[in-house]
Amino acid sequence: MTNILITGSKGQLGSEIKELSIQFNNLQFFFTDIEELDICALDAIDSYITDKQISYIVNCAAYTNVDQAEENEQAAKLINADAVKNLATIAMQNNIILVHISTDYVFSGDNSTPYTEDQKAKPMGVYGRTKFEGEENVRNICQQHIIIRTSWLYSPFGKNFLKTMLGLGKEKDSLDVVGDQIGSPTYAHDLAYTILHIIQSITEKSHFTDFGTYHYSNEGVCSWYDFATEIQNTSKNKCKINSIESKDFQCLAKRPHYSVLNKSKIKHIFTLEIPHWRSRIEHCIKRITE
């Protein structure tokens, strides 16, 4: 049996992994969140992985509030960078494969074509900067790693754009949504499946060598305005969505204007077909409303 530790398992991605885990009965999962296992607590992680004979860590724990991070850099760095260093060190010392999740916000948004894994990171805010530092810690310490950068995550769990738009769409006649930030939504269910597929593929290979950084989102490109419009149409809300410019939307953190990720590498190495973002909204809304 392959024993897998999932950290931050009560978040969006961790919850989706938990739901899908029953389909992977050759893998044994240990789901933890901050109450059971704080990723900042090096000794606690060390004894946990020894006790449970862990051979993979999937780190879904993170400080994910992009705006709050601007005013709380210390807390964001502690979880997104320093704690990740702990995980990477423990993984390296114990021959564990570390699957770590990162973000499109490591990029500045100056591109006009999808970002590849080897393009230079240039984060615009604290969240992106601390996430990039976490990535670098993983790359520098633990050779056996898979870093997956993803974007615009949504699911039936926790707080996310789709759930906010569904709620507001029921209450309001119209909503202003930013139309000049371009990216790709990611259904956390699809990313969770991909992570489990990757682990399965690695366990089936006698000698896996393609460790490194990968990009994953759903296929297709849109603005937050397009995404919001599709959510209202799919949910049959009557709410009208108006496109506004980023400069007219007040928030603490600067966001990249363009953060589309090139997914060729992950599709090729792990033989994946990725669904288009438009085709996944209905699946998520059904799970929320049924």
Ligand X SMILES: NC(=O)c1ccc[n+]([C@@H]2O[C@H](COP(=O)([O-])OP(=O)(O)OC[C@H]3O[C@@H](n4cnc5c(N)ncnc54)[C@H](OP(=O)(O)O)[C@@H]3O)[C@@H](O)[C@H]2O)c1
Which residues here bind ligand X, judged by CB under 6 A?
A: 7-8, 10-13, 33-34, 38-40, 60-62, 64, 79, 83, 101, 103, 131, 150-153, 158
* Nearer CB in complex with ligand X: 36/207: 36
The residue to which tokens 């931050």 are assigned: 8
Q: Which residue is nearest to ligand X (CB)?
A: 11
Q: Does 193 participate in catalysis according to the annotation?
A: no
* Nearer CB in complex with ligand X: 149/206: 149
Q: For the CB of residue 41, give the shortest distance to ligand X in the complex, in Å.
A: 8
Catalytic residue among 63, 105, 127, 187: 127
Q: For the CB of residue 15, give the shortest distance to ligand X in the complex, in Å.
A: 8
* Nearer CB in complex with ligand X: 100/179: 100
Q: For the CB of residue 78, give the shortest distance to ligand X in the complex, in Å.
A: 8
Q: For the CB of residue 271, give the shortest distance to ligand X in the complex, in Å.
A: 23
* Nearer CB in complex with ligand X: 77/174: 77
Q: Which residues are catalytic?
A: 127
